[in-house]
Amino acid sequence: MTSQTGSDEPAISCRNVWQVFGPNAKSKLAEALASSGGDSNAAAQKLRDQGLIPAVQDASFDVLPGELFVIMGLSGSGKSTIVRCISQLLQATGGEIRIEGENLVEASKARLIELRRRKLGMVFQHFGLFPHMTVTENVAFPLKMQGQNKTDRTKRALEVIELVGLKGREEAFPREMSGGQRQRVGIARSLAVNPDIWFLDEPFSALDPLIRRQLQDEFINIQATLKKSIVFITHDIAEALKIADRIAIMRDGKIVQIGTPTEIVLNPVDDYVREFSKDVAKGRHARVASVMRASAPADRAPDDPGLRQDMTLEAALASCISRYDPVPVWGEDGKMIGVVDPADLAAALQAEET
Protein backbone atom coordinates (compact mmCIF):
# COMPACT_ATOMS: atom_id res chain seq x y z
CA MET A 1 0.00 0.00 0.00
CA THR A 2 2.83 2.34 0.81
CA SER A 3 6.22 2.41 -0.74
CA GLN A 4 9.06 2.07 1.68
CA THR A 5 11.14 5.11 1.11
CA GLY A 6 13.92 6.81 2.99
CA SER A 7 17.08 5.40 4.41
CA ASP A 8 17.64 1.75 5.22
CA GLU A 9 17.58 2.45 8.92
CA PRO A 10 14.35 1.17 10.44
CA ALA A 11 12.08 3.77 12.06
CA ILE A 12 11.58 1.51 15.04
CA SER A 13 13.72 -1.41 15.98
CA CYS A 14 13.00 -3.79 18.84
CA ARG A 15 15.54 -6.38 19.90
CA ASN A 16 14.77 -9.05 22.49
CA VAL A 17 12.29 -6.87 24.32
CA TRP A 18 10.93 -8.30 27.56
CA GLN A 19 8.29 -6.87 29.82
CA VAL A 20 7.95 -8.78 33.07
CA PHE A 21 5.55 -7.72 35.81
CA GLY A 22 6.27 -8.54 39.41
CA PRO A 23 8.73 -7.70 42.17
CA ASN A 24 12.42 -7.50 41.20
CA ALA A 25 11.50 -8.26 37.62
CA LYS A 26 14.76 -7.02 36.21
CA SER A 27 17.10 -9.19 38.22
CA LYS A 28 14.77 -12.18 38.04
CA LEU A 29 14.72 -11.91 34.26
CA ALA A 30 18.50 -11.72 34.00
CA GLU A 31 18.76 -14.72 36.30
CA ALA A 32 16.20 -16.74 34.35
CA LEU A 33 17.87 -15.95 31.02
CA ALA A 34 21.28 -16.87 32.34
CA SER A 35 20.15 -20.16 33.84
CA SER A 36 18.22 -21.24 30.76
CA GLY A 37 21.08 -20.46 28.43
CA GLY A 38 19.18 -17.83 26.49
CA ASP A 39 16.22 -20.07 25.69
CA SER A 40 13.40 -17.59 25.98
CA ASN A 41 10.59 -20.11 26.41
CA ALA A 42 12.37 -21.83 29.26
CA ALA A 43 13.18 -18.46 30.84
CA ALA A 44 9.53 -17.36 30.57
CA GLN A 45 8.36 -20.58 32.16
CA LYS A 46 10.86 -20.10 34.96
CA LEU A 47 9.54 -16.60 35.58
CA ARG A 48 5.94 -17.83 35.62
CA ASP A 49 6.85 -20.48 38.12
CA GLN A 50 8.16 -17.74 40.40
CA GLY A 51 4.85 -15.93 40.20
CA LEU A 52 5.96 -13.22 37.79
CA ILE A 53 4.12 -12.35 34.62
CA PRO A 54 6.14 -12.19 31.38
CA ALA A 55 3.70 -10.00 29.41
CA VAL A 56 6.09 -9.55 26.51
CA GLN A 57 8.62 -12.25 25.81
CA ASP A 58 11.70 -11.74 23.69
CA ALA A 59 10.06 -9.62 20.99
CA SER A 60 12.19 -8.53 18.04
CA PHE A 61 11.02 -6.72 14.93
CA ASP A 62 11.67 -3.66 12.79
CA VAL A 63 9.25 -1.09 11.49
CA LEU A 64 10.50 0.56 8.31
CA PRO A 65 10.05 4.24 7.58
CA GLY A 66 6.56 4.85 6.21
CA GLU A 67 5.49 1.31 7.01
CA LEU A 68 2.16 0.48 8.63
CA PHE A 69 3.03 -2.28 11.04
CA VAL A 70 0.11 -4.00 12.76
CA ILE A 71 0.45 -6.00 15.94
CA MET A 72 -2.44 -8.35 16.35
CA GLY A 73 -3.46 -10.66 19.14
CA LEU A 74 -6.23 -11.55 21.55
CA SER A 75 -6.68 -9.70 24.81
CA GLY A 76 -3.89 -10.55 27.20
CA SER A 77 -1.49 -11.45 24.42
CA GLY A 78 0.77 -8.53 25.30
CA LYS A 79 0.08 -6.35 22.28
CA SER A 80 -0.89 -3.26 24.26
CA THR A 81 2.04 -3.81 26.59
CA ILE A 82 4.55 -3.89 23.76
CA VAL A 83 3.33 -0.62 22.26
CA ARG A 84 3.63 0.92 25.71
CA CYS A 85 7.20 -0.34 25.89
CA ILE A 86 8.04 1.28 22.58
CA SER A 87 6.41 4.56 23.54
CA GLN A 88 8.15 4.27 26.94
CA LEU A 89 4.91 4.53 28.86
CA LEU A 90 6.29 1.38 30.40
CA GLN A 91 9.94 0.76 30.95
CA ALA A 92 10.87 -2.47 29.19
CA THR A 93 12.39 -5.00 31.60
CA GLY A 94 14.96 -6.13 29.09
CA GLY A 95 16.06 -5.65 25.49
CA GLU A 96 16.68 -2.73 23.24
CA ILE A 97 14.24 -0.32 21.64
CA ARG A 98 15.59 2.07 19.04
CA ILE A 99 13.74 4.86 17.34
CA GLU A 100 15.63 6.06 14.29
CA GLY A 101 18.71 4.52 15.76
CA GLU A 102 18.44 6.12 19.19
CA ASN A 103 18.19 3.71 22.09
CA LEU A 104 15.15 4.75 24.11
CA VAL A 105 15.92 2.44 27.01
CA GLU A 106 18.93 4.58 27.85
CA ALA A 107 17.29 7.91 27.05
CA SER A 108 17.00 10.46 29.86
CA LYS A 109 13.67 11.74 31.10
CA ALA A 110 14.23 15.09 29.46
CA ARG A 111 15.12 13.44 26.17
CA LEU A 112 11.94 11.34 26.30
CA ILE A 113 9.83 14.43 26.89
CA GLU A 114 11.56 16.08 23.96
CA LEU A 115 10.91 13.04 21.73
CA ARG A 116 7.26 12.98 22.70
CA ARG A 117 6.92 16.69 21.99
CA ARG A 118 8.41 16.41 18.49
CA LYS A 119 8.48 12.89 17.14
CA LEU A 120 5.88 10.60 18.68
CA GLY A 121 2.10 10.60 18.52
CA MET A 122 -0.30 8.18 20.13
CA VAL A 123 -4.00 7.35 19.82
CA PHE A 124 -5.76 5.48 22.63
CA GLN A 125 -8.53 2.92 22.67
CA HIS A 126 -10.72 4.99 24.98
CA PHE A 127 -9.63 8.22 23.36
CA GLY A 128 -7.99 9.76 26.45
CA LEU A 129 -9.49 13.16 25.73
CA PHE A 130 -9.06 15.79 28.41
CA PRO A 131 -12.59 16.34 29.71
CA HIS A 132 -12.06 19.95 30.75
CA MET A 133 -10.78 21.14 27.36
CA THR A 134 -12.57 21.93 24.12
CA VAL A 135 -11.73 20.09 20.92
CA THR A 136 -9.31 22.82 19.90
CA GLU A 137 -7.65 22.92 23.31
CA ASN A 138 -7.30 19.14 23.29
CA VAL A 139 -5.71 19.11 19.87
CA ALA A 140 -3.48 22.06 20.68
CA PHE A 141 -2.27 20.59 23.97
CA PRO A 142 0.86 18.83 22.61
CA LEU A 143 1.76 22.08 20.84
CA LYS A 144 1.31 23.95 24.10
CA MET A 145 3.77 21.51 25.64
CA GLN A 146 6.19 22.38 22.83
CA GLY A 147 5.91 25.95 23.99
CA GLN A 148 4.12 27.35 20.94
CA ASN A 149 2.15 30.51 21.51
CA LYS A 150 -1.60 30.46 21.47
CA THR A 151 -2.13 31.92 17.98
CA ASP A 152 0.24 29.48 16.32
CA ARG A 153 -1.02 26.43 18.06
CA THR A 154 -4.67 27.30 17.48
CA LYS A 155 -3.94 27.78 13.79
CA ARG A 156 -2.25 24.39 13.53
CA ALA A 157 -4.98 22.72 15.62
CA LEU A 158 -7.66 24.04 13.28
CA GLU A 159 -5.77 22.59 10.31
CA VAL A 160 -5.64 19.14 11.83
CA ILE A 161 -9.24 19.34 12.99
CA GLU A 162 -10.22 20.00 9.41
CA LEU A 163 -8.08 17.09 8.24
CA VAL A 164 -10.04 14.67 10.43
CA GLY A 165 -13.36 16.14 9.33
CA LEU A 166 -14.42 17.90 12.50
CA LYS A 167 -14.72 21.41 11.13
CA GLY A 168 -17.52 23.17 12.95
CA ARG A 169 -17.05 21.33 16.27
CA GLU A 170 -13.95 23.20 17.37
CA GLU A 171 -15.48 24.60 20.55
CA ALA A 172 -17.34 21.45 21.60
CA PHE A 173 -16.36 19.55 24.76
CA PRO A 174 -15.61 15.81 24.57
CA ARG A 175 -18.73 14.94 26.58
CA GLU A 176 -20.88 16.51 23.85
CA MET A 177 -19.53 14.23 21.10
CA SER A 178 -20.17 10.71 19.84
CA GLY A 179 -17.55 7.98 20.11
CA GLY A 180 -16.53 8.30 16.48
CA GLN A 181 -16.11 12.04 16.79
CA ARG A 182 -14.11 11.66 19.97
CA GLN A 183 -11.67 9.34 18.28
CA ARG A 184 -11.32 11.84 15.44
CA VAL A 185 -10.25 14.32 18.10
CA GLY A 186 -7.81 11.75 19.48
CA ILE A 187 -6.35 11.25 16.01
CA ALA A 188 -6.14 14.98 15.41
CA ARG A 189 -4.36 15.50 18.72
CA SER A 190 -1.81 12.81 17.98
CA LEU A 191 -1.12 14.39 14.58
CA ALA A 192 -0.89 17.98 15.80
CA VAL A 193 2.88 17.97 16.23
CA ASN A 194 3.29 16.18 12.91
CA PRO A 195 5.08 13.20 14.46
CA ASP A 196 7.22 10.81 12.42
CA ILE A 197 6.18 7.85 14.49
CA TRP A 198 2.55 7.15 15.17
CA PHE A 199 1.23 4.66 17.73
CA LEU A 200 -2.38 3.60 17.55
CA ASP A 201 -3.59 1.37 20.37
CA GLU A 202 -6.81 -0.30 19.22
CA PRO A 203 -8.08 3.06 18.03
CA PHE A 204 -11.31 1.76 16.51
CA SER A 205 -12.16 -1.10 18.87
CA ALA A 206 -14.55 0.92 21.01
CA LEU A 207 -16.61 2.07 18.03
CA ASP A 208 -19.70 0.71 16.27
CA PRO A 209 -18.96 -1.46 13.20
CA LEU A 210 -20.23 1.12 10.69
CA ILE A 211 -18.31 4.00 12.25
CA ARG A 212 -15.30 1.74 12.56
CA ARG A 213 -15.24 0.98 8.84
CA GLN A 214 -15.67 4.65 7.99
CA LEU A 215 -12.78 5.66 10.24
CA GLN A 216 -10.59 2.84 8.88
CA ASP A 217 -11.12 4.13 5.36
CA GLU A 218 -10.33 7.69 6.38
CA PHE A 219 -7.31 6.48 8.30
CA ILE A 220 -6.01 4.74 5.18
CA ASN A 221 -6.48 7.95 3.22
CA ILE A 222 -4.70 10.05 5.82
CA GLN A 223 -1.81 7.61 5.94
CA ALA A 224 -1.59 7.57 2.14
CA THR A 225 -0.73 11.27 2.21
CA LEU A 226 1.19 11.50 5.51
CA LYS A 227 3.29 8.31 5.25
CA LYS A 228 4.03 7.97 8.94
CA SER A 229 5.85 5.03 10.43
CA ILE A 230 3.03 3.34 12.31
CA VAL A 231 2.58 0.74 15.00
CA PHE A 232 -1.07 -0.17 15.00
CA ILE A 233 -2.55 -2.48 17.64
CA THR A 234 -5.73 -4.44 17.00
CA HIS A 235 -7.50 -7.65 17.95
CA ASP A 236 -9.48 -7.68 14.70
CA ILE A 237 -7.89 -9.77 11.93
CA ALA A 238 -10.08 -8.20 9.26
CA GLU A 239 -8.89 -4.75 10.32
CA ALA A 240 -5.29 -5.93 10.34
CA LEU A 241 -5.51 -7.44 6.87
CA LYS A 242 -7.28 -4.39 5.53
CA ILE A 243 -4.73 -1.80 6.55
CA ALA A 244 -1.42 -3.48 7.24
CA ASP A 245 1.80 -3.51 5.28
CA ARG A 246 3.03 -6.18 7.64
CA ILE A 247 1.41 -7.94 10.57
CA ALA A 248 2.94 -9.38 13.72
CA ILE A 249 0.76 -11.92 15.47
CA MET A 250 1.20 -12.22 19.24
CA ARG A 251 0.23 -14.95 21.60
CA ASP A 252 0.94 -15.18 25.33
CA GLY A 253 3.52 -12.42 25.06
CA LYS A 254 5.34 -13.97 22.13
CA ILE A 255 5.41 -12.89 18.53
CA VAL A 256 4.49 -16.06 16.65
CA GLN A 257 4.58 -14.78 13.09
CA ILE A 258 5.50 -11.65 11.19
CA GLY A 259 4.49 -11.28 7.60
CA THR A 260 2.49 -9.50 4.95
CA PRO A 261 -1.27 -10.04 5.02
CA THR A 262 -0.92 -12.55 2.20
CA GLU A 263 1.71 -14.56 4.02
CA ILE A 264 -0.36 -14.63 7.17
CA VAL A 265 -3.41 -15.84 5.29
CA LEU A 266 -1.75 -18.31 3.00
CA ASN A 267 1.10 -19.60 5.11
CA PRO A 268 0.11 -19.52 8.75
CA VAL A 269 2.97 -20.88 10.87
CA ASP A 270 0.79 -22.72 13.33
CA ASP A 271 -2.76 -23.58 14.28
CA TYR A 272 -3.13 -20.44 16.35
CA VAL A 273 -2.52 -18.19 13.37
CA ARG A 274 -4.55 -20.50 11.13
CA GLU A 275 -7.44 -20.21 13.55
CA PHE A 276 -7.35 -16.43 13.14
CA SER A 277 -7.44 -16.46 9.39
CA LYS A 278 -10.03 -19.21 9.20
CA ASP A 279 -12.96 -16.89 8.84
CA VAL A 280 -11.17 -14.63 6.44
CA ALA A 281 -12.11 -14.95 2.79
CA LYS A 282 -8.62 -15.68 1.52
CA GLY A 283 -9.42 -14.79 -2.04
CA ARG A 284 -9.87 -11.22 -1.01
CA HIS A 285 -6.48 -10.84 0.65
CA ALA A 286 -4.02 -13.11 -1.16
CA ARG A 287 -2.62 -11.82 -4.44
CA VAL A 288 -1.85 -13.56 -7.69
CA ALA A 289 1.86 -13.09 -7.02
CA SER A 290 1.68 -15.59 -4.19
CA VAL A 291 0.85 -18.50 -6.54
CA MET A 292 2.62 -17.27 -9.67
CA ARG A 293 5.28 -19.44 -11.29
CA ALA A 294 8.09 -18.40 -13.55
CA SER A 295 7.69 -19.04 -17.21
CA ALA A 296 9.21 -18.17 -20.53
CA PRO A 297 7.75 -14.93 -21.89
CA ALA A 298 5.17 -15.35 -24.63
CA ASP A 299 2.97 -13.12 -26.73
CA ARG A 300 -0.42 -12.06 -25.62
CA ALA A 301 -3.17 -14.28 -26.93
CA PRO A 302 -6.38 -12.66 -28.15
CA ASP A 303 -8.50 -14.26 -25.42
CA ASP A 304 -6.04 -13.50 -22.65
CA PRO A 305 -7.89 -12.55 -19.39
CA GLY A 306 -5.15 -10.04 -18.51
CA LEU A 307 -4.03 -11.18 -15.05
CA ARG A 308 -1.81 -8.85 -13.04
CA GLN A 309 0.29 -9.93 -10.08
CA ASP A 310 -1.42 -7.60 -7.63
CA MET A 311 -4.90 -8.94 -8.40
CA THR A 312 -6.60 -10.81 -5.58
CA LEU A 313 -7.02 -14.53 -6.01
CA GLU A 314 -10.76 -14.10 -6.10
CA ALA A 315 -10.65 -11.65 -8.98
CA ALA A 316 -8.11 -13.78 -10.86
CA LEU A 317 -10.09 -16.95 -10.49
CA ALA A 318 -13.25 -15.20 -11.69
CA SER A 319 -11.55 -14.20 -14.92
CA CYS A 320 -9.94 -17.57 -15.71
CA ILE A 321 -12.30 -20.03 -14.13
CA SER A 322 -12.96 -21.88 -17.38
CA ARG A 323 -9.28 -22.43 -18.28
CA TYR A 324 -7.14 -25.44 -17.71
CA ASP A 325 -3.77 -24.27 -19.01
CA PRO A 326 -1.45 -21.96 -17.17
CA VAL A 327 -2.50 -18.34 -17.70
CA PRO A 328 0.08 -15.59 -18.29
CA VAL A 329 0.48 -12.81 -15.75
CA TRP A 330 1.42 -9.36 -17.05
CA GLY A 331 3.52 -6.71 -15.41
CA GLU A 332 2.73 -3.00 -15.37
CA ASP A 333 4.94 -2.44 -18.39
CA GLY A 334 2.91 -4.92 -20.39
CA LYS A 335 5.55 -7.64 -20.35
CA MET A 336 4.69 -11.13 -19.26
CA ILE A 337 6.25 -11.92 -15.86
CA GLY A 338 5.00 -15.43 -15.14
CA VAL A 339 2.09 -17.81 -15.27
CA VAL A 340 -0.59 -18.99 -12.92
CA ASP A 341 -2.13 -22.39 -13.02
CA PRO A 342 -5.89 -22.09 -12.39
CA ALA A 343 -5.67 -25.30 -10.39
CA ASP A 344 -3.15 -23.61 -8.05
CA LEU A 345 -5.52 -20.67 -7.67
CA ALA A 346 -8.36 -22.94 -6.68
CA ALA A 347 -6.10 -24.95 -4.38
CA ALA A 348 -4.85 -21.81 -2.63
CA LEU A 349 -8.40 -20.67 -2.05
CA GLN A 350 -9.34 -24.00 -0.56
CA ALA A 351 -6.24 -24.34 1.57
CA GLU A 352 -8.16 -23.56 4.75
CA GLU A 353 -10.54 -26.47 4.34
CA THR A 354 -7.82 -29.10 4.15
Partner 1 sequence: MMVEDHSVAAPLRRLAGLSPASIAAMITLIVGALCVALEPTLPWLVKYPAAWSIPASDWIGSALTWFLGLIKPAMRIISAGLAYPMDWAHALFTFVPWPLTIGLVTALGWYIGGLSLAALGLGGLIFVLASGYWLESMSTLSLVAVSVPLALLTGGATGILANEFPKFKNAIQTVLDVMQTVPTFAYLTPLLFLFGFGPVVGLIASAIYAAPPMARNVILGLERVESDIKEAAIMSGGTRLQQLFLIEIPSAKTQIMVGVNQCLMAALSMVIIAAVIGGFKDIGWEVLLTMRKAQFGPSLMAGLVIVVFAMIIDRYSGKLATERSRYDGRVALAIGAVGLVAALAFWGKLSNPSSITLLDPVASWLDQSLTGFLKQNGGALDSIKNGAMFYALLPLRIGLDGAVLPFTWGFQWTPVMSAAFIAVAAAAGLVLALRGRVALGIILVIIAGVIETGVSDLPWPFLLVGAGALGWVSGGRKLATFAFVMLGLVLISGLWDRALLSLYMSGASVITCAVLGGAIGLLCAISPMAWRVVLPICDMLQTIPLFVFLIPVLMFFQIGEFSAFLAICLYAIVPMIRYTRHGLVTTPEELIEAAVSSGATEWQTMIEVRAPYAAPTILLGLNQTILYAFAMLVIAALIGTTGLGQSIYGALAGADVGLGITSGAAMAILALVADRLVQGFAEERRQALGL
The contact set with partner 1 (CB under 8 A) reads 84, 87, 89, 113-118, 120-122, 124-132, 141-142, 145-146, 186, 189-190, 193, 199
Q: How far apart (Å, rounded) are the C-alpha atoms in residues 25 and 121?
A: 28
Q: Which is nearer to partner 1, 105 or 281 (CB)?
A: 105
CB atoms within 10 A of CB 131: 8
Could you tell me where the DSSP H helices lie in 167-270?
179-191, 209-226, 237-243, 261-266
| Closest CB 79 distance from partner 1, rounded Å | 15
Q: Which is nearer to partner 1, 226 or 351 (CB)?
A: 226
| Closest CB 83 distance from partner 1, rounded Å | 11
CA–centroid distance for 150 within its chain: 34
| Closest CB 139 distance from partner 1, rounded Å | 10
E-strand stretches of the chain: 12-21, 53-63, 68-72, 94-99, 102-103, 120-123, 197-201, 229-234, 246-251, 254-259, 307-308, 327-330, 336-340
Q: Which is nearer to partner 1, 123 or 311 (CB)?
A: 123
| Closest CB 3 distance from partner 1, rounded Å | 28
| Closest CB 336 distance from partner 1, rounded Å | 50
Q: Which is nearer to partner 1, 125 or 290 (CB)?
A: 125
CB neighbour burial string for 98-123, b if at least 16 within 10 angstroms, e if fewer? bbbeeebeebeeeeeeebbeebbbbb
Q: Which is nearer to partner 1, 126 or 278 (CB)?
A: 126
| Closest CB 7 distance from partner 1, rounded Å | 25
Secondary structure of residue 93 in the 3-state scheme = coil
Q: Which is nearer to partner 1, 90 or 336 (CB)?
A: 90
Amino acid at 292: M
94-99/246-251 β-pairing: unpaired
